[in-house]
């Protein structure tokens, strides 16, 4: 990690930002949020995966491991660039302010981005054209496959690639050459949209870094089956001759789920990836590290061992553990990148072997306070925290702290919480935030819902719920809430303010 001393920050996905067009975007709302973070003494803005979502709107099941979510492109900034006019946006639908209604958002943004592309082509701007061409040249290794993949999906009424004609499904060179000519305009449009996303995101990241804010990104270990990555590199996955998975990812049965979790992502053929030095992974990590400063790897334990489920099985019960790439993978990454700015998502049932893999490379793990209250030996309790970790009150998959306390915490657990803290709990939200802030953990990150003291209705994701996730948003007034003063004061009290970091650690400050 690239932190000096103690730090704190906020977990908020960009879709949850304020904005006029139905979803948070990379415009003024994002810049105001960066200013808000800096004013409250925060050093970190953590986001979820930034890729283009598909059915279900989950950022953890995207069409590409490289491409950006074009719904995040600021339409107002396209007006500033001369690619749209204020008149183009004048008839925007009356979008709800407190949630993203993707059924409205996606068609509107599609129309506006198509109009911007037409303007870009019909009235070329020399500087913009040069920037676009440079982006395309530097990103061909993923952009060409992705742009063609999207064009073909649209030509096939968004059906998965395994339902395309066999020549396209199997990437016959003659068929691909034909498709590249047939859908040239659509392909160029996708290149254009990805350039817009990267241009706006890069400007936002630069601004955040100038204001002392580091961006923490999120990288799911597995990719979606219906993605450009799997279609383009089919030999890297356990697939049959028709492209269907023969084995899929998940986790075994546990206390929370008697049938486990069958995620359905195709599994990597790690020995194939090792043969070329994990080239695709290196490309993926290098690319993401242009967008963020530190990467949280979701389901880190899969690098040590993963749960292999036969694709014919309807649940995760009849799976088996198989060895992951382990130390060899991270040694290859370290050799190429020179450092590992990675956080290991080490939640769930973690073995000593997983802990050793994490610790041998000095990777900070995660401590989630909502999971802490069982017994004094619980590793998530603050007295068991090591410095080299990140503490959270909750994550995007948890209830909000208030919702958790009101609807999920039993009486005996409440009693343990109060016994541990040494007092009755009257405000669980800030009690838990204070507990995280005073932890020895290098960084404390609070979901924005907890900062605002919101209940279960503000939950970002409820795993297993087929609809209604990923839609929560803040509004402009939330950034004026007096609660910001409490956050700023607490950040200083527990020496997590940027001004205090050098003083706290002196010349020995080395990050983690």
**Count of CB atoms situated within 10 Å of the CB of 132:** 20
Strand, helix or coil for residue 84? coil
pTM of the predicted protein model: 0.96
Active site residue 229: no
pLDDT for residue 502: 52
Contact 171, 231 (CB under 8 A): yes
Catalytic residue among 298, 304, 346, 478: 298
Catalytic residue among 76, 397, 456, 481: 397
Rg (CA), the chain: 23
pLDDT for residue 2: 60
Phi, psi of 422 (to 5 degrees): 85, 20
Enter the DSSP assignment of 164.
Answer: S
Domain segments of the chain as ranges: 7-232+365-508
Tell me the Ramachandran region of residue 317: left when phi exceeds 0, alpha when psi lies from -120 to 50, beta otherwise. alpha
DSSP letter string, 337-395:
HSS--EEE---SS--HHHHHHHHHTT--EEEEGGG-TT-TT-TTSGGG--SSEEEES--
pLDDT for residue 461: 96
* Series of mean pLDDT values for 10-residue runs along the chain (512 residues): 81 97 98 98 98 94 98 98 97 95 95 98 94 98 98 97 98 98 98 98 98 98 98 98 97 87 96 97 98 98 98 96 98 95 94 97 97 97 97 97 97 97 97 98 98 97 87 97 96 95 43 36
Active site residue 336: no
Catalytic residue among 229, 345, 450, 478: 345
CATH architecture of the domain covering 7-232+365-508: Alpha-Beta Barrel (3.20)
Active site residue 375: no
- Distant-in-sequence, close-in-space partners of 150: CB < 8 Å, separation ≥ 6: 63, 186, 190, 228
Q: What is the dihedral of CA 136, 137, 141, 145, to 10 degrees?
A: 40
Strand, helix or coil for residue 318? coil
Tens-digit pLDDT profile for residues 296-322: 999 999 999 999 999 999 999 999 999
Q: Which residues pair with 46 in a beta bridge?
A: 11, 216
SS (H, E, C) 261-303: EEEEEECECHHHHHHCCCHHHHHHHHHHHHHCCEEEEECHHHH
Strand, helix or coil for residue 176? helix
Phi, psi of 200 (to 5 degrees): -70, -40
Q: How far apart are CA 429 and CA 426, in angstroms?
A: 9
Strand 365-368 and strand 305-310: the pairing is: unpaired
Packing angle, helices 184-210 and 173-182, rounded to 10:
80
pLDDT for residue 3: 65
Widest pairwise Cα distance in the chain? 72
pLDDT for residue 505: 39
Tokens read off for 397 = 């998959």
Tens-digit pLDDT profile for residues 387-421: 999 999 999 999 999 999 999 999 999 999 999 99
Q: How far apart are CA 476 and CA 426, in angstroms?
A: 28
pLDDT for residue 504: 42
């Amino acid at each position: 990690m690239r932190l000096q001393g103690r730090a704190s920050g906020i977990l908020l996905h960009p879709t949850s930002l304020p904005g006029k067009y139905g979803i948070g975007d990379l415009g003024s709302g994002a810049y105001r949020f960066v200013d808000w973070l800096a004013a409250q003494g925060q050093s970190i803005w953590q986001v979820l995966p930034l890729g283009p979502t598909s059915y279900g709107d989950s950022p953890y099941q995207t069409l590409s491991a490289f491409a950006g979510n074009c719904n995040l492109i600021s339409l107002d900034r396209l007006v500033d660039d001369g690619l749209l006019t204020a008149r183009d946006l004048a008839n925007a639908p009356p979008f709800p302010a407190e949630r993203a209604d993707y059924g409205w958002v996606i068609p509107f943004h599609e129309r506006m981005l198509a109009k911007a592309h037409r303007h870009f082509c019909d009235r070329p701007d020399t500087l913009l054209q040069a920037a676009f061409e440079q982006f395309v040249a530097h990103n061909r290794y993923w952009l060409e496959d992705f742009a063609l993949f999207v064009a073909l999906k649209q030509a096939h009424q968004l059906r998965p690639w395994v339902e395309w004609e066999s020549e396209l499904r199997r990437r016959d060179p003659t068929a691909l050459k034909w498709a590249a000519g047939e859908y040239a305009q659509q392909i160029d449009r996708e290149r254009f949209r990805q350039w817009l996303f990267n241009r706006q995101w890069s400007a936002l990241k630069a601004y955040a870094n100038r204001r002392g804010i580091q961006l923490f990104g999120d990288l799911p270990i597995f990719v979606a089956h219906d993605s450009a990555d799997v279609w383009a590199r089919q030999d890297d996955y356990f697939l049959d001759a028709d492209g269907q998975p023969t084995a899929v990812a998940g986790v075994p049965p546990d206390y929370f789920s008697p049938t486990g979790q069958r995620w359905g992502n195709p599994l990597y053929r790690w020995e194939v990836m090792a043969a070329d030095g994990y080239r695709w992974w290196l490309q993926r990590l290098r690319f993401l590290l242009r967008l963020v400063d530190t990467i949280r790897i979701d389901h880190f334990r899969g690098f040590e061992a993963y749960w292999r489920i036969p694709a014919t099985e309807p649940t995760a019960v009849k799976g088996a553990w198989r060895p992951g790439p382990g130390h060899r993978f991270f040694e290859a990454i370290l050799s190429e990148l020179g450092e590992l700015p990675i956080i290991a998502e080490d939640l769930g049932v973690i073995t000593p072997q997983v802990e050793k893999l994490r610790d041998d490379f000095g990777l900070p793990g995660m401590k989630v306070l909502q999971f802490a209250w069982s017994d004094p030996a619980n590793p998530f309790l603050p007295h068991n925290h090591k410095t080299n970790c990140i503490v959270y009150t909750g994550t995007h998959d948890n209830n909000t702290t208030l919702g958790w306390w009101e609807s999920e915490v039993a009486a005996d657990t409440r009693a343990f919480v109060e016994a541990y803290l040494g007092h009755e709990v009257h405000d669980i939200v800030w009690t838990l935030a204070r507990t995280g802030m005073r932890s020895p953990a290098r960084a404390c990150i609070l979901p924005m819902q907890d900062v605002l003291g919101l209940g279960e209705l503000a939950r970002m994701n409820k795993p297993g719920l087929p609809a209604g996730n990923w839609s929560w948003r803040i509004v402009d007034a939330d950034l004026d809430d007096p609660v910001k003063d409490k956050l700023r004061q607490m950040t200083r009290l527990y020496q997590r303010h940027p001004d205090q970091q050098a003083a706290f650690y002196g010349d020995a400050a080395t990050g983690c």
